[in-house]
Structures are given as C-alpha cells and as structure tokens.
Amino acid sequence: MDDAWDMAYSLFKVWLSIVVGLIVVPAMFGLSLGVTDVYMKILVKILEWATLRIQRGQRDQPSPTAQLPNGIIQRDDGSMAEEIGELRRNWPQSLTGGDFTLCDAFYFCRKGIETIVEDQVTQRFTSEELVSWNLLTRTNNNFCYISVRVTIIWGLGVFIRYCVLAPLRITLAVIGLSWLVIGTTLVGLLPNSKVKDWLSDLVHLTCYRICAKGLSAVIHYHNKQNKPKKGGICVANHTSPIDIVILANDGCYAMVGQVHGGLMGVIQRSMLRSCPHVWFERSEMKDRHAVAKRLRDHVADKTKLPILIFPEGTCINNTSVMMFKKGSFEIGGTIYPVAIKYDPQFGDAFWNSAKYNMVSYLLRMMTSWAIVCNVWYLPPMTREEGEDAVHFANRVKSAIARQGGLVDLSWDGGLKREKVKQTYKEEQQKMYSSTIVGPVSS
C-alpha cells in the first residue's frame, strides 16, 4: 500500500514539474513553446477532414430531416402603418382617420405567431447553431451516423478532452487562482508606491495568462494602439465570464462588481489589497448615485487602472450585441470600446446561466477543444456636446457590433430573466393608435 502511495506521489511530482516547467513559467513571461500552435494546426486539419466526410455522407445518405437555416421566418422590413395599409388595400370602402377594420387584427396575430416561433431576443440566450459538427457537440439538427472512421475520431477526441486536456487545464486553473490569491495578498502588505503597482500588475497578468493557458485560449488582438489607458473606461460586449481572462491577458484592468461570499469573496478581498478594484455591497448596488460616485471618483484619478465594464449586464450568445445600460456612459471620461468575437468551431464560449451553473460551465470550457477568439481595440470615444447618455451608449454599441460582425439589437438583455416592460407594450399601442386616428397634437 505504501509503495502505491509512493508511486502516486512520484507521478504527481513529475506531472507538476512538467506543467510548471513547460507551461506555467513560459506563460508568466508571456512566452509560448509553440505546442499550442501545433495542436491548433492538427485540430484544424482534423475538423476539415471531418466536415468533408460528413458532407459526403450526407450526399450519399440524405437525412430525412432538413436542417433549418438561421432565420426561419422571412420578415417584412416595413413599418406598422405600411403593413396595415397593405392589409386594407382590398377593403371596399375608403377609410378615414378613426376607422377600425377587423382585418387589422391579422397584423397583430401574424406578429404574435412570428414572435412565438422565432423572436429576436430569446434566440440570443441559446448557443448559436453550427454549420457542421465539430466533433464536440451535436448542435446541428441534421447530424446522424456517417461512418466508422468519424465515430472513432469522435471517441478518440472524447478520451483526449476528458482524460488528457481536462486534468491539465484544471491543474493550470488551480495554479493560476492560487497564485492570484497568494500573490495579491503578499503585494497588499507593501506600502503604496510605484513598486507595489508594478508588482500588482505583474501578479494579475501572470495569473490571467496561466488561466488562459488552462483554457487553451488562442487570442488574436487587433489595433493595440487603441488599448485602454489609465483613467478611462473599457466597455465590451459580453459573451462569457472568461471575457475578463481574455482581456486581462493583454493588460490590467480595475474590475467592477458585487461583493460575493465563499471562494469568490476570498479572491475579491485578496485582489482589493493590491489594486483598487471597485466592489459594491448588495445594498450599494441598488443605489445608482452611490455607484456612479465611486466610479466617477475612480475615473478622475488618472493613476488608476481603466475600469472594465460590460454594459449589457448579461451574457449574449456571440451573435449579437444588446442594449447597453446608460449608467456607464453617464460617468464621464473617455470610453475605450472593445469588440470580442469567439470562433464557435472550437468551443462554445457562451454561458447559458439559466441552464448551467458556474462550475458546470467551466468544466464544459475545460473539455472543449480550445477557446479561439478575436479582440479588436476600437478608437477611444467621448460624449459629444448635446448628446445624452442613451445616444452615446447606442453609438458605442453600434461601433462594437460593426467591428465584431455582430447583430446590433436595441432590446434589453434583462429580458433574459424578466417580463417585457410595460413601456414596450405602450409604445406598440401608441403606434397603432396613430395609425387609425392620426398623430395626436400636444
């Protein structure tokens, strides 16, 4: 029995030495031994072969169930007045203002059925559909058995992902988080100085780089000359909690969020000792003025790190950008927009919080092929004269959507958990009222 424990301990030491020597230490200095590049090239070749084999099999054995394309409803781009006018076109009598016809009800019936079948909001809170199976998850509707070779490759991939990659990535995640807690705690004991700030940045960068290695993250940064600077506010579209790891892997940020308990609380308290992050108590989060004041004070100090904020307030499935909350744009200062776009071919980075808890989600990330994404730093933007916070937020959101190739939606991401606001219903009622009685003069 003692010999078995000695053998296990020896294997653990060898495993830890390999991980630390070949992955952790190079990652701490922002270096790579090229293993990830080789792994990605092999993976791309395998996925290309599997895609061609699946397409050939589908031609030889057509599936009876056809895959539905994205956007199964052909929608008209006309306004409410135009569409109702089209319905009334064959009405025998000419209509004057104030008239109502029963055929108007068909407009609302059709819109309601379209919304039930496919609306613009709820489909943003589910994983985006893949064009072809990535040997990882069967997200395409028409996937079926193709060949023995594809099945063998899939089985081999399951073994590699769960028996090789998952233990390695979990080890790296534990090392990275442990280093974050220990390093920031030790740095926090030092008096405030430039040396402390430098050491704090070093600890944070090394931690996030190790965690990025734990996800096999391949990140392509574009337009680095536009990187957020101190005293500014970095805003980005939000797909996943790992967005923080992706961005902080290339620079340091001051985080904003609610105070948590448990392990997350330990991490937050240790981070706060070395760097001025902005954590709020639950009671403070409900006070918009208190939140705005603390953020405004942080931005006013040009020696503090840029604040990282995700104005959507929830995770969206990597296909679109939804409404930005205006609070971040009322603070003042320079806004540094950042667009993040993940490649779903190698792994689904979207966190569906209604379906998976944080632990389940992270395990799914650590058993995917890799996390591949592009990050674009956009030119800094400031609020124009006479522009209110809402219009400024929409302008920044549109710029991020254009750069990331995402759909620009005006809907509130809060609809993920809440009912439609009464104001949206009243807006539709007013539009119909103005159609039948004409605009009401004030």
What tens digit of pLDDT does each residue of 128-159 get? 667 667 777 645 544 556 678 878 888 888 89
Query: In whole angstroms, how far apart are CA 19 and each of 12, 16, 174, 354?
Result: 10, 5, 12, 34
Provide the percentage of residues in the chain whose pLDDT is more than 90.
Answer: 12
Give backbone dihedrals phi and psi of 63, rounded to 5 degrees, phi first.
-75, 140
Residue in this structure with the two tokens 């395998």, named with its chain if needed: 46
β-pair type (320-321, 254-258)? unpaired
- Regarding predicted confidence, which is higher, 3 or 119? 3
On the question of pLDDT at 296 being above 60, the answer is yes
What is the per-residue pLDDT for 386? 84
312 vs 235: CA distance, rounded Å: 10
Token code pair at residue 173:
């995640």
- What pTM did the predictor assign? 0.76
The answer to whether the beta carbons of residues 308 and 238 sit under 8 Å apart is: no
Using CB atoms within 10 Å of the CB of residue 347, give its burial: 0 to 12 exposed, 13 to 18 middle, 19+ buried.
Answer: buried
- Helix or strand run (H / E) with residue 347: none
Q: Which residues pair with 335 in a beta bridge?
A: 233, 381
Determine the average pLDDT of the residues in 154-178. Answer: 88
What is the per-residue pLDDT for 68? 43
Angle at 415 between CA 392 and CA 140, to 5 degrees: 105
Query: In whole angstroms, how far apart are CA 204 and each of 29, 115, 212, 249, 386?
Result: 12, 45, 12, 9, 39
Using CB atoms within 10 Å of the CB of residue 391, give its burial: 0 to 12 exposed, 13 to 18 middle, 19+ buried.
Answer: middle
Question: SS3 sequence, 128-183?
Answer: CCCCCCCCCCCCCCCCCCCCHHHHHHHHHHHHHHHHHHHHHHHHHHHHHHHHHHHH
| 272 contact partners, CB below 8 Å, separation of at least 6 | 188, 279
Provide the percentage of residues in the chain whose pLDDT is more than 70.
Answer: 72
Q: Which pLDDT band holds residue 227 (cuts at 50, 70, 90)? A: very high
- Regarding predicted confidence, which is higher, 322 or 111? 322
214 vs 170: CA distance, rounded Å: 7
339 vs 310: CA distance, rounded Å: 11
